[in-house]
Amino acid sequence: MGEGEQDRRPMSACVMEEKKCFIANKLVLSVIVLGASGDLAKKKTFPALFTLFRKGFLPKNLKLIGYARSKLSNSDLHEKIKGYLKGDDKTKQEFLDRITYVQGQYDGDEGFQGLEKALQEREKDFQGAPLGRLFYLALPPSVYPQVCAGIKKNCTHMNSTGKGSWLRLVIEKPFGMDLKSSEDLANKLGELFPEEQLYRIDHYLGKELMQNMLVLRFANQFLSPTWHRNFISNVQICFKEPFGTEGRGGYFDEFGIIRDVMQNHLTQILALLAMEQPVTLSADDIRDEKVRLLRALSPVALDDTVLGQYTAAGDQPGYLDDETVPKGSKTPTFATCVMRIHNERWAGVPWIMKAGKALNERKVEIRVQYKPPAASIHGDVINEMRNELVLRLQPDEAIYMKIVVKKPGLEMESIVSELDLSYKQRYGDTYIPDAYERLILDAIRGDQQHFVRRDELRAAWAAFTPLLHAIDNGEAEPMQYPAGSRGPPASDILVAKAGFVKNANYIWKREDVPGDIS
């Protein structure tokens, strides 16, 4: 099957075939990490590759090549990486022995010619075997065009006639700053490599609860009939971090919370939650439905948005106290947006996105709130006891349903309780992979299901670009909120206006997980 041909077999069949290929050790795999000396590579990329190596998911004929501008020896790179690898010393050393380093610039041909020479030397003894080259760009997007041009010109000369040989590129977000810049970048990369060779990574798509979304939504008959505007009042997608920029404000200030978190991570969550059932589990069928959904999103209105910027509180400095942040910056570190989907299923249902830094807790969760029963026999109090399906992505993955039950005792009193699937309790002995581990393995297997396609990216930017331009033009200023708080009070007012009702007197009584507060 060719690189661009769509595979419509069940996903399990595709994966099993790939596993057999790995077990048979047919694939000669070279993983090239560009930006090997940077934080992303040492903290995420190499540790993810090491875990896959340690657990036997990578072929024996594996070679890793680090590429960067820094003057490093092989042993220098090994020392940078070693402290981030989790495992026994013997396995660590076996992994490090497979890593070599090539120094080179990100523009011009000389460095990439040196990289190609290293690849040719590595592959020369495997004529007739399938070769795989995976280029992981752990780099700022500003250098993607010249890096991809260097790879295309100098590093695509694979001399194997082995069936199943391939070349793929994994690129990190942000994919542009708005619709135009995203399209400009996509055009430049598209002139060099076809879409089936480009893997735009959004690590949220590799999280366990995101991986569970298609099963939860389309394999449970009790849920399917109620997944509709007739039953659902509103949906919240919430991202909260308890820390601020901590010296990385210069980077963050270029983007702000909407570009950094909402346009990509949270929009991907929305798409999987709201889309229709795909024809199959093939990558393009799934992404077709996500695109169809995202195209139904109305552009986010300024009137449906609250922006914030954290100030100093206690021992935590404010955003503007970060020396890397430009003086007087108006970049939002918090945003709440109410979004609308114009299709038959979701017309009239507010989709509330909330994201912020320096808040009161660390949490990423989805909260689907149902409408109250019509003409309830239990009185008005039931209106404040809403059914909610809650999916907690982090920390400590959990799925729970808030239901109304009778309080034990002699009186007929209604209370809110829950049906609880907490992964730590239910699957305590099961290893839950890191998102990067899962997505890198998918890229090696050629499964693009959990990567962002170009038209998907275009539709997501179209929903946010008018709002971002308004913010950039100074049409809205962020409200101040103290670090460690829930954010600006105006956010709670906007959320309540959108129809969210906080359940009265309810606490998720779990000692190991933060309380149920929205």
The catalytic site residues sit at 265
Q: What is each CA distance from 105 to 93, 111, 139, 150, 167, in whole angstroms?
A: 28, 6, 12, 10, 21
Tell the residue number behind the tokens 């003086």, with chain if given: 327
Name residues whose C-beta falls within 8 Å of residue 97's C-beta, 6 or more positions apart in sequence. Answer: none
Q: What is each CA distance from 390 to 74, 340, 381, 393, in whole angstroms?
A: 47, 20, 21, 10
Measured in residues, the chain has a length of: 518
- Paired with 334 in beta bridges are 308, 356
> Residue 78 and residue 66: Cα distance in Å, rounded?
10
Instruction: Return the structure tokens found at 422.
Output: 């907490």
- Among the listed residues 342, 392, 357, the one whose alpha carbon sits nearest the alpha carbon of residue 481: 357
> Residue 442 and residue 437: Cα distance in Å, rounded?
9
Whether 421 and 399 have beta carbons less than 8 Å apart is answered as yes
Whether 119 and 133 have beta carbons less than 8 Å apart is answered as yes
DSSP H or E segment with residue 67: strand 62-68
- Among the listed residues 72, 83, 86, 89, the one whose alpha carbon sits nearest the alpha carbon of residue 33: 72
Whether 47 and 84 have beta carbons less than 8 Å apart is answered as yes
> Residue 490 and residue 497: Cα distance in Å, rounded?
10
| Counts of helices then strands in the chain (DSSP H, E) | 17, 16
